[in-house]
Amino acid sequence: AKKITLPKLHEMAQNSQKIAMLTAHDSLSARMAEEAGVDIVLVGDSLAMVSMGFPDTSQITLDEMIYHCKAVKRGCQTPFIIGDLPFGSYEQSVEKGVESTVRMIKEGGADCVKFEGGRELAPMVERLSQYGIATMPHIGLTPQRQVATGGFKVQGRKAESAFRLLEDALVLESAGAQLFLLEGVPTEIGEVISSKVKIPVIGIGAGAGTSGQVLVQLDMLGGFDDFKPKFLKRYADLLGYSTSAMKQYVQEVRQNEFPQREHSYSMKEEEFIKFTK
C-alpha cells in the first residue's frame, strides 16, 4: 500500500469516504494499526494514561512524546502519522509551539502535529501553515484542560458554547489548519461543524456525522479499564486474554510443563559424552 498523504485525506473527506484513525504508542501498536488498514496513526498523549499509568495527561513531556513517536514511525509505513504536542509544550508562545512542532517532525518523524485549543491557537496555526507545516487543532473536549473544565466533560451542549466551538473551527480553518480533531460534543454539533468546514474532521465521542473516527487503541482493544467513557466501544478483551495466557505460562513453569523438548536446544550425544568424561 502507498503512504497516506494529506491530499488523500482531504479527498476522502470530500468524497464522504470515512477516515479510520487509531492511536499507537510503540512499534507493535503501530504495526497492528497498519495491518488493520488504518489511514491515520495518532501518537496521542493519552499514552500517558493507558501506557505510563498517569491519572491524566499533564505530566508527559515533549521528549517522551518524541520517544514514542520514533517507535511508532519505525513500526509502520503507510499511515499518516500525527504527533500530539503535550501540555506545556506550546502554550507559552508561537515560537515555543513552532519549536516543539519542528522537534516532533524532525526527531519524532511525525507528518503533522495536533494540539488542544480554539481560536487562541490561530497565530500558531497560521505561522506553521506559512512554513508548510500541517496542523490538527483538537477542539471540543480538550483533556489537557480537564482541571479548568472540572473533568472530562462533553462540550457544546448549550447553543452558546456550540456556537463558540463552530467559530473556533472556522477561525482555525482560515488560519490554515489541515485537519480537525473534534472530541466530546453532541452528534448534531459534530455534524454541523463537519459540514461547515472543508477540511476533514476526525471525531471521538462526536457522533457519526464527522469525516472519520478515532479511538485510543488500548481502549478499543480492552487493554485499559480504569474507566469507560460512553463513546468507547470495546472490540476485544486484551486484558482478559493476555492475563489468562500469562497465568497458563506461570502454571506451566511451576509444574515444569514448560519448556518441552521442542522449546529446548540439544547437543550431539558424542559431544556430551566427551564433555561428561
Per CB under 5 A, residues contacting Na ion are 44-45, 84
Catalytic, 183? Answer yes
Of 19, 30, 39, 44, the residue at the interface with ligand KIV (CB under 6 A) is: 44
Look at residues 192, 211, 201, 209 and name the one whose alpha carbon lies nearest to residue 173: 201
Residues 79-138 that bind ligand KIV (CB under 6 A): 84, 138
Residues 6+ positions from 189 with CB-CB distance below 8 Å = 156, 162, 165, 166, 206
Cis peptide before 137 (omega within 30 of 0): no
Cell digits for 181? 480533531
Of 46, 135, 155, 194, the residue at the interface with ligand KIV (CB under 6 A) is: 46
Helix (H) or strand (E) holding 128: helix 122-130
Cell digits for 236? 476485544
CA torsion, ordered 233, 239, 242, 244, to nearest 10 deg: -120
The residue among 23 and 135 lying less far from ligand KIV, judged by its C-beta, is 23
Q: Which residues share a beta bridge with 43?
A: 83
Contact code string over 152-181 relative to ligand KIV, x by CB under 6 A: -----------------------------x
How far CA 61 is from CA of 52, 145, 239, in Å, comes to 12, 16, 27
- Min dist CB 19 to ligand KIV, Å, is 13
Residue 219 makes contact with ligand KIV by CB under 6 A: no
- Min dist CB 160 to Na ion, Å, is 26
Q: Which residues share a beta bridge with 82?
A: 42, 112
Residue 34 makes contact with ligand KIV by CB under 6 A: no
- Min dist CB 257 to Na ion, Å, is 44
Catalytic residue among 183, 188, 252, 271: 183
User: CA-to-CA distance for 246 and 179, rounded, in angstroms?
Assistant: 41
- Min dist CB 254 to Na ion, Å, is 41
Residues that bind ligand KIV (CB under 6 A): 23, 42, 44-46, 84, 138, 181, 183, 204, 214, 216
**What positions carry a catalytic annotation?**
183
